[in-house]
Amino acid sequence: MSGHFWAATSAPRDRIDIQQDESLRWFQSSKEVERGFCGHCGSSLFWNHAKNDTLSIAAGTFDKPTGLAAGAHIFFDAASDYYQVHPDEKTISGSSI
């Protein structure tokens, strides 16, 4: 999807209010997952799994201050050799999502 780091957060779908969606496009990337992106520039914005009641949101879309903090590095076992993580940060082999 991004080829590299992907910082995201999530929120219950019923708490999300998208006020302008003229350029929002959705791509069905698998049977249960669709990805939302900007139809003008191609930026990845959302990740939506049909079985979850939340919508994952690209953390970079929020203005500062976000109040967000990294919770874990997922799919860590697939990270390239240049990817360094501080020993105090949580890593997960796959994804708990």
Spell out the residues 6+ positions from residue 62 whose beta carbon is closer than 8 angstroms to its own. Answer: 68
The mean pLDDT of the chain is 90
Confidence (pLDDT) at 96: 60
Q: What are the distances in angstroms from CA 68 to CA 9, 35, 65, 96?
A: 8, 22, 8, 19
- State the distance between the two ends of the chain, measured CA to CA, in whole angstroms: 16
Q: Where are the domains of the chain?
A: 8-66, 67-97
Confidence (pLDDT) at 79: 85
Is pLDDT at 97 greater than 60 in this prediction? no
pLDDT digits (tens, 9 = 90+) for 53-80: 999 999 999 999 999 998 888 888 888 8
Answer whether 0.85 is exceeded by the pTM: no
